[in-house]
Amino acid sequence: MANQDLLVYRDKIDAIDEQILALLSSRAACAKAIGHIKQNQTVAMPFYRPEREKAVLERLMDMNPGPLPDKEIRRLFREVMSACLALEMPMDIAYLGPEGTYTQAAVLKQFGHSVNTVPLRTIPDVFKAVQSENAHFGIVPSENSTEGVVTHTLDMLLQSDLRICGEILLRIQHNLLSNAESLSAVKAVYAHEQALAQCRNWLNRYIPHADLRPVSSNGKAAEIAATEANAAAIAGQMASDFYGLSILAAGIEDETNNTTRFLVIGNQQLTPTGDDKTSLVVSANNHPGLLHQLLEPIARYKVNMTRLESRPARQAIWEYVFFIDLEGHEHDEKTASLLAEIKRTASFFKVLGSYPVGTVF
């Protein structure tokens, strides 16, 4: 009886798969046709349009009736678009390696699996690969919500002519894993340096007596904690099963919304999606009230500033440069006139890019 029911569902699935196959093939044929049109233009047209992809994905998630979670719908259509885009134009994506890191996860989240990915050793190498057109886009870490910015990336953005073509947000959760009987018995905590930093408040509060020991990865940390008495590791939940470690405490990161942000860098100007960010860098000869003067138009226009970073300038003439992220697209009317005002007061002004706001999953 149960077997009979199973067969009915199996046949149903087979019929559905046939229909999906036919639709995927039509979709791919459309993508190919689009590719031909673009190739025959006298003015170069971009093949990869993150703003269009974002709109497609959000629409489908809005329409999703279940039972597949939105996250899976996003992932599956990401892969469908990736496969179709590869027919239009095979893409090479450079990223800060090595493989198996969060940066690689960010690449796959953004581009799907039908791209060539190339791990490079340094952030400047990634910029160089895109600049020299050895890669269509590059992915570099930008900041995480507790540890702040990756200054190397800011420096490269300042020097380079490349633009920010997108941001990718990844959520990260940490647990304290150990075979120690209780928190008070924990003598040492092993973890990647960044994970230690992301849990600093919690560690100071609950196990101030423990020695904090940075190692090359959280996986490595779990391995050590599995063999060393009274040692603990900060790692994901799964490591607990596999290294036979108990979860002494879950979700110990200081910011519960601990995300890491990555930037997509490229040569492309994107059109507005209605939900965009603009990154810019400004400076002026230093004088008291300079920052206030630079920021005043932003307040007056009632535009949300999502980030402000100051960096000592390398060129002697400015003492500081400011990296600012604003909501809005440089081609939006309001944002455009705000940017024009900021530009008037600044001695240095550069838009790094306008791009769709990233989604956390």
Judge contact between 245 and 179, C-beta under 8 A. Answer: yes
100-139 residues in contact with its own copies (CB under 8 A) are 100, 104, 113-114, 116, 118-121, 125, 129, 134-135
Judged by beta carbon, residue 194 or residue 293, the one nearer its own copies is: 194
Task: For residue 277, give both structure tokens.
Answer: 């960010």
Nearer to its own copies, 4 or 182 (CB): 4
Closest to its own copies by CB, 104 or 142: 104
- Asked if omega into 214 is within 30° of 0 (cis), the reply is no
Minimum CB–partner distance for residue 25 and its own copies (Å): 5
Q: Is the Cβ–Cβ distance between 182 and 303 less than 8 Å?
A: no
Q: Please state the closest distance from residue 105 (CB atom) to its own copies, in A.
A: 10
Smaller CB separation from its own copies, 10 or 334 = 10
Site for its own copies in 271-290 (CB under 8 A): none
The total of other beta-carbon atoms located within 10 Å of residue 263's CB is 28
Alpha-helical segments (H) within 92-138: 102-111, 123-131
Among 58, 92, 255, 275, binds its own copies (CB under 8 A): 92
Element holding 79 (H helix, E strand): helix 70-88
Question: Which CB atom, from 84 or from 197, has the smaller least distance to its own copies?
Answer: 84
**What is the spatial distance between Cα 142 and Cα 200, in angstroms, rounded to a whole number?**
21
Do the bridges between strand 175-178 and strand 148-149 make them parallel or antiparallel, or are there none, so unpaired?
unpaired
Query: Least distance to its own copies from the beta carbon of 332, Å?
Result: 21
Instruction: Please identify, using beta-carbon distances, which residue of 59 and 205 lies nearer to its own copies.
Output: 59
Nearest-angstrom CA–CA distance, 24 and 238: 35
DSSP 198: H
Q: Which of residues 21-50 bind its own copies (CB under 8 A)?
A: 21-34, 37-38, 40-41
Window 56-75: residues binding its own copies (CB under 8 A) = 56, 59-60, 63-68, 72-73, 75
- Which 136-195 positions form the footprint of its own copies (CB under 8 A)? none
Binder among 51, 54, 80, 353 for its own copies (CB under 8 A)? 80
Which residues ranging from 213 to 252 are in contact with its own copies (CB under 8 A)? 219, 223, 238-239, 241-242
Estimate to the nearest angstrom the gap between the alpha carbon of 215 and the chain centroid. Answer: 24
94 to 106, 149, 261, 321, 353: CA distances (angstroms):
12, 20, 16, 27, 19
Q: Taking the alpha carbons of 300, 301, 307, 312 in that order, is the dihedral positive or negative?
A: negative
87 binds its own copies (CB under 8 A): yes
Q: How far is the CB of 114 from its own copies (least distance, A)?
A: 7
Given candidates 58, 70, 79, 228, which one binds its own copies under the rule CB under 8 A?
A: 79
- Shortest CA distance to 276 belongs to which of 324, 323, 330? 330
DSSP 267-330: SPPPPP-SSEEEEEEEE----TTHHHHHHHHHHHTTPPEEEEEEEE-SSTT-SEEEEEEEES-T
Residue selected from 85, 91, 94, 189 as contacting its own copies according to rule CB under 8 A = 94
In terms of CB distance, is 228 or 319 closer to its own copies? 228
Find the shortest distance in angstroms from Cβ 326 to its own copies.
29
What is the C-alpha to C-alpha distance for residues 210 and 189, in angstroms, rounded to an integer? 7
Q: How many residues bind its own copies (CB under 8 A)?
A: 76
Residue 9 vs 208, nearer CB to its own copies = 9
> How far apart are CB 146 and its own copies at their closest, in Å?
23
Site string for its own copies, 2-21 (x = CB under 8 A): x--xx--xx-xxx-xxxxxx
